[in-house]
Every structure is written in structure tokens, then in C-alpha cells.
Amino acid sequence: MRRWLSYPYLVWMIMFITVPLLLIVFYAFTKQTDGGIVFSLDHFRQILDPLYLKVFLRSFKIAFISMLICLLIGYPVALFLSSKDFSQKSTYLMLIVIPMWMNFLLRTYAWLTLLENNGIFNKLLEFLGFGKVQFLYSEGAVILGTVYNFLPFMILPIYSVMVKIDESVISAAQDLGANSFQVLLKVMIPLSLPGVISGITMVFMPAVSTFVISRLLGGGQFALIGNIIEQQFLLTGNWGFGSALSFVLMVLVIISMFFMNANERNGKESML
């Protein structure tokens, strides 16, 4: 109907999504030679270097572990928040949402000061008579930062699916003999699966490509793929290689998301 209303968005999309994507593909698959710009797979060959493969592997590992922790913490929280007897729902929801209003960088810097050698945690440990612990610049610190930053993105989609589950469906399961655990296993979990899937997607995707958390909390030691890409564009000026890395990351993320969704569809049919 009012097609022209969508034109500003279309223009936006073309300028800031389609064109950059095409540029990435262009830079990734070409190289500058004396004879001008030619098609080349050199950049991709470079990625096969064990050094970079290791970074890819680490990025996926850290993102996966963070996502898993978010799920393990977030699912019970969502379950708890969505229960109908719980009256202070909105207060708790606010507490979860408020940190999201704060700048991402600030939140991460805050952890920096907390975990420092002279930070609050170490002060506390000292006070209690334990020795200092090197929290920062470890894999654990990166995972902690990732979980902290992305946990709301796990809780909220699961919560929003759960509150829509009809109370009478749970009653029906109890009526048919299911105890609380069986209700959870056979009704709540399958019915909240779409929320879990989008939660996983919303945590995993930004986690796998983050470079701020790994730089601030991981120091130089725990470079993730996002850091390497940033380096290629901002330091080395190797746009071709940076583009190739971005391209591979994108394809890998798309593939993993595709498997997730396929699993969900199968799950629906073969569940229990």
C-alpha cells in the first residue's frame, strides 16, 4: 500500500548493509597486483595458517561456553520471572534491563576496575586473609565479561515466550499426572524452545565477534577473531585479509544458526 513509506529504510539498507557486504566480498576475493585488481583466493589461504585457525577455534569456544553459561543462568531466571505467583515481576525485569541502558564500554570498564590487582575483589580477598588472585587477562575474565554483557539477551526472549504459555496447559499436564519436574521437562522446555533458540542466537552471534571484551579483559593474550579483524582494518591496513576473515566468520555463524533452527524443527517432531 504505502510503499514509499519503506523507501527511507530501503535506502538505508542498501547504503549501510548491502553495499558494505558487497565491499567485503569484493575485498576478500581480490588482490592488488601490478596489472591491476585481480580475482584471488590468497586471503583465504592465509586464514588456513594454524595461528588464525586457533583464534577462530578460541572465538567459537569462548562464545559457546559463554552462551551455555547464559543459558544455564538465564533459563531458570526466565522460568522464575514468568511464574504467575510471582508478584514483583516488573521490578526484577527492570533490574535485568537497566544495565542494558548503560554503555557497553562503560559496563566492561567497570569489570576492569573490579577485577584489577588492586580492585575490589582482590582487596576483599586480602582482607579475608587470602592472597591476591590474577583475575584479569585470562580466558575466565573474557567469559565473565561476555556472560555479564549478554545475559539479558538470553533471559528476555525466553521470558517473553514463557509468559505467553497458557496457564491451563500446565494445569492439563498436572491433571494428567505430571509432577513439577515432568511439567518442566515435557511441557515448559519444549514450549519455550523458540525463546531458547532466539536467546542462543542473540548471545552467540555478538559473543563470537566481540573484540572489546577480549581486549579489555583478556589483554593481548586472548585475541579473538574480532580483534584480528579490527587489527587488519585499523592497524595493518590489510583490508583484503580483514574482509576474508569477516566473510569466513559470517559464513560460519550462518551455518551454525542454520543447524540450530533445523534442530528446532526436528525437535518439534521427535521431542520425547
Partner 1 sequence: MSDYIIQLNNISKVFEDGFVALDNLNLSIKKNEFLTLLGPSGCGKTTTLRIIGGFEMPTEGEIVFQGQKINDLPPHKRKVNTVFQKYALFTHLNVFDNVAFGLKISKTPKNEIKERVREMLNLVNLQGFEKRQVESLSGGQQQRVAIARALVNRPEVLLLDEPLGALDLKMRKDMQIELKKMQEKLGITFIYVTHDQEEALSMSDSIVILNEGIVQQIDTPINIYNEPKNAFVADFIGESNIIDGTMLQDKLVHFCNKDIPCIDTGFAKNEKVDVVIRPEDIDIKNLSDAQWTGKVTSVIFKGVHYDITVESSDGFVWLLQNTDRQYEGDTIGMSVDPDDIHIMKKVIDL
Interface residues with partner 1 (CB under 8 A) are 166, 168-169, 171-179, 182, 186-187, 190-191, 193, 268, 271-272
Residues 6+ apart with CB under 8 A from 207: 62, 63, 66, 67, 146, 150
Comparison of 60 and 75: residue with beta carbon closer to partner 1: 75
Give the nearest distance from C-beta 220 to partner 1 in angstroms: 47
Q: Measured from the CB of residue 211, what is the shortest distance to partner 1 in angstroms?
A: 39
Nearest approach, Cβ of 206 to partner 1 (angstroms)?
A: 29
The residue among 20 and 190 lying less far from partner 1, judged by its C-beta, is 190
Distance (Å, rounded) from C-alpha 204 to C-alpha 180?
Answer: 30
Question: Residue 26 and residue 239: Cα distance in Å, rounded?
Answer: 10
Separation CA 256–CA 264 (nearest Å): 13
- Kindly state the smallest distance separating residue 257's Cβ from partner 1, in Å: 21
Grid coordinates representing 183 are 511439567
- Of residues 117 and 174, the one with the C-beta less far from partner 1: 174
Closest CB to partner 1 among residues 132, 268 = 268
The alpha carbon of residue 51 and the mean position of all alpha carbons in its chain are separated, in whole angstroms, by 23
For residue 100, what are the CA distances in angstroms to 116, 142, 198?
23, 18, 18
